[in-house]
Structure 1
Amino acid sequence: MLKLIERLGSIEASRASDTLTLPFELRMRGRLKAQSDGGQEVGLFLDRGPVLRDGEGLEADSGEIVIIRAAAEPVVTARIDAGLALARLCYHLGNRHVALAIGADEEGGWVRFPPDHVLEELAERLGATIHHHQAPFDPEPGAYAQAGHAHGHSHGHSHGHSHDHSHDHSHGSEDGHGAHEHDHVH
């Protein structure tokens, strides 16, 4: 088994001898056994840290390099005009504490998230057009995330989410609460 032990950050594909294509849920894990796209048995033995990003390199204890690819998986893309409408949509969806991929292209702005009828309904109420499809899901890493920076804490979400919101409340606190790319214990 190829033991992948070090995060290299984003690398050129030509440096890698193989690829490992994983869905978002598995890219959140630091420990995993899988089969590479080339058919090798691989094991992740990484520090608890940020989500593995599409294009990130991992180095094995033997020196081989494997590049991570985000697998196509069921997603919802909500399309809306770029600018204030997109900002408003991102704000309201982000306030639900879900991972979001955000972008813009020639058709306007978009927000991508895993299928969820409540989020889809919210997006439609805000004026977005919803598209269900298969695509790689590589959400925003969060404002406090840094490539290669390990968040050595466990965050169990045991606190209540019934705040009254009549006070100034920041969801992006220094504990990484607003980032949501840290490992969750399953």
Structure 2
Amino acid sequence: MTRVIEILPAGGWDVAQATDVFAADYEGRHRRRMMLGLRSGEKVLLELEHARLLQAGDGLKLDDGRIVRVEALPEKLMEVTAHDPLHLMRLAWHLGNRHLPAAIDAQRILVRQDHVIADMIRGLGGHVHEVEAPFDPESGAYTARAASHDHAHGEEHHHHHGHGHSHSHD
């Protein structure tokens, strides 16, 4: 059984070295342990200590020396836009306050579909459009999925945001 032995961060390796591709949506790329089906039809074992999101462009170094490129498949998302950059920043703050995975650029924020969040954004004066695009959210040490998993299992986290106080998640 061929295994993944190292994850090479996007931008930190030569993509020309890739011999195969692992393509999946957000859920399919957020894993701790699973058999990954490659584009060639081969299957390789991913076994990590903790679940993490495989970002588009990451390389999966295999125990036989080959490298597999990670690709994000298009999926249905909500595109959040605003009437000016400051308004978009405020909407980003509200989304971040809910620990939602989000892909952010200067013109828009992409989040997974959720009618409650869509209603909140509209209530704050933002615009929501359904789009289909690869979802590669900002990476961070603390993800919404990890938080919801840990809460369900009674685990407590304290994380510091560098602004004079920490948030406890009980």
**TM class by shorter-chain length?**
0.7 to 0.9
Partner of 1:54: 56
Query: CA distance change for structure 1 residues 170 and 117 in 2, over 3 Å: closer, same or farther?
Result: farther
For the pair 1:99 / 2:101, whether they are aligned, the reply is: yes
Q: Which has the higher helix share?
A: 2
Mapped contact 1:19–1:69 kept (Cα < 8 A): yes
Q: Which one has more relative contact order, counting CA pairs under 8 Å at least 6 apart? A: 1
Q: Which has the higher strand share?
A: 2
Question: Please, what TM-score do these two structures have when normalized by structure 2?
Answer: 0.79
Question: Please, what TM-score do these two structures have when normalized by structure 1?
Answer: 0.72
> What percentage of aligned pairs have identical amino acids?
38
- Greater displacement, 75-84 / 14-23: 75-84
Distance in 1 separating the partners of 2:99 and 2:20? 34
For the pair 1:25 / 2:23, whether they are aligned, the reply is: no
Q: Provide the aligned length of Structure 1 versus Structure 2.
A: 153
Partner of 2:136: 138
Partner of 2:150: 156
For the pair 1:6 / 2:6, whether they are aligned, the reply is: yes
The two structures, once aligned, show a CA RMSD in angstroms of 2.5
Distance in 2 separating the partners of 1:138 and 1:48? 19
Query: CA distance change for structure 1 residues 133 and 155 in 2, over 3 Å: closer, same or farther?
Result: closer
Look up the SS of the partner of 2:27 in the other structure.
helix
Look up the SS of the partner of 2:70 in the other structure.
strand
Residue type at the aligned position of 1:126: L
Return 5+ residue gaps in structure 2 as ranges: 143-147, 157-163
Return 5+ residue gaps in structure 1 as ranges: 146-153, 161-167, 178-186
Residue type at the aligned position of 2:139: P
Shift of residue 37 of structure 1?
1.4
